Amino acid sequence: MTTTTISASTLETFPNPAPQRDFHIHMEIPEFTCLCPKTGQPDFATLLLDYIPDQTCVELKSLKLYIWSFRNTGCFHEAVTNRILDDLASATQPRYMRLTARFYVRGGIFTTVIADHRQTGWTPVPMVQLADFASQSNTRA
């Protein structure tokens, strides 16, 4: 099994275009791959990254390259999820960040790992619940 040293320093950021407000960034990364540390076989997952930025946002190409760097690295699901969250939180210093890692079936078991990071002292603004409306279309018969 091959292992690679992964550097969080490859994560680049850019200034938050609206630091005066909380807004939610959602990313889906459907092609995450790492290796099982026991067997060396590949593990596949979809990563869901949700965060509320403070002063910076993560740059997408650097995120892609960072995520790809795990392809030849042996790691347990729980460890890799927490490591990615720690590296992203360190790079961006978000108000809030959640990483959900949905691993594909292995040995008849699906594993989902969810890890959160919250900036000290930050609490979310209460969410406004708008009414749900049925889908409307003037093209339906």
24 is in an annotated binding site: no
CA distance 86 to 41: 25
28 is in an annotated binding site: no
59 is in an annotated binding site: yes
User: CB-based burial of residue 110 (10 Å sphere; 0-12 exposed, 13-18 middle, 19+ buried)?
Assistant: exposed
78 is in an annotated binding site: yes
Residues marked as catalytic: 36, 43
Q: How many CA atoms, within 13 angstroms, populate the side-chain half-sphere of residue 81?
A: 24
31 is in an annotated binding site: no
Q: Which residues are annotated as a binding site?
A: 58-60, 77-78
Q: Which residues are annotated as a binding site for substrate?
A: 58-60, 77-78
